Copies of this chain bind each other. A is one copy, B any other.
Amino acid sequence: MALLDETAKGVYVIAVTPFTETGALDLDSTDRMVDFYLEKGATGLTVLGMMGEAPKLTADESRIFVRRVLKRVDGRVPVVAGVSASGFAAMRELSDSVMGDGAAGVMVAPPSTLRTDDQILSYYAMAAETLGPKTPFVLQDFPLVTQVQITPAVILKIVAAHPSCVMLKHEDWPGLAKISALRAASDQGGRRISILVGNGGMFLPEELSRGADGAMTGFAYPEMMVDVWKAHAAGQVERAHDLFDAYLPLARYEQQPGLGLALRKYTLAKRGAIASATLRKPGGALSKMDIADIERLIARQERRLKEIG
C-alpha cells in the first residue's frame, strides 16, 4: 500500500469503532462500515481517532480492529490510524503494528499538558523520532479538545524539521486565518503539506476557499463532504454552498461535544452502516427528544436536497 504523502486530498472519513450491544468489537459491522464509507465516496479512512473511541480499546483490540479495517479496504484507499498515546513506548508499539499491517500513515494529537511553543516542538520531535522517518504522520490540531494551541509558526517549524509530517488535520476554531497563513508560507517556498479539515465540516466551503485539500472528519453523511469538495474543486462555489447549507442543520446538531458520537452512531446505524449504535462507557446516551430532533432534521434534509437537485 502506498504511504500517505503531501498530495493527499479529498475526504478521509473518521471511522467510528462499531461495538455489539454488549460492548464487544463488532468486526462484521466493521466490514459493513468500510463498504459504506467507500460507497459514499471516501478517498481515505482514519481509524482510532478521538471519535473512534480509541482510548476505550485495549492495546490488543486496537491492533485487531485496524487489521480488520485494512483487510476489508484491501488497498482501495489509504488508511490512517490514530496512535496518540500517554507515552512514546505505547505509541511506537501501536505504530509499528499498524504500519506493518499496511496503514498509510498515523496521526498524533498533542497531550493536553503542553503549553509553550517549545514544549509542542519538543513533543513532535520526540514523536517523529519515535515513529521513525518511514512512517508518515498527521499532526492533529484540535484545541477545543486537546486544549493545546499551536500557532502557524509552530506548525511550520514542525513541517520544516520533520519530513515525515505530511498532513495537518486542521480543527482549530476559528481556523480560517490559520489555513491562509500556512498556504501563504508554502506559496513562498515552504514544503506544502496536505490540510484536511475537521470540526464536523462546519466550515468546509470557506476552508476549501482558503486552501484546504479536503476534509478528515466523521459526519454521518460523508457524501456531504465529498460532494462539497467535488463541487468546489470544479469551481462551482455557489453549488458547493448550496449542498453544504442543505446538510448544515444536521451537521450543526451532530457537533455537540460528548453527545455527537452517540448522534453519529445513531445515524450510521439507521443508515445501515453498523449494526448497533452502542458506545463503550463512558458515552453519551440519547433521549427520546434527541432522537425526535435528529429524525426531524434528517427528514428536512432530505426534502431540501430534493429541492436543490
Contacts and interface: CB of A to CB of B under 8 A. Distances in A.
Contacts of A88: 56, 280-281
A187 interface: no
Contacts of A7: none
Interface stretch (A71-79, A202-210, A215-223, A264-272): A202-210
Nearest to A245: B249
Nearest to A281: B126
Contacts of A119: 149
B89 A289 contact: no
B241 A151 contact: no
Which of A151, A206, A249, A280 is most buried by chain B, counting CB atoms within 10 A of its CB? A206
Given A55-B87, A206-B253, A290 B116 contact: no
A257 B173 contact: yes
B57 A87 contact: yes
B248 A151 contact: no
27 contacts: A55-B86, A56-B87, A56-B88, A57-B90, A59-B59, A61-B89, A86-B86, A87-B280, A112-B112, A115-B149, A116-B149, A116-B150, A116-B151, A118-B153, A126-B281, A173-B257, A174-B257, A174-B259, A176-B256, A177-B287, A180-B289, A209-B293, A241-B249, A241-B296, A241-B300, A244-B249, A248-B252
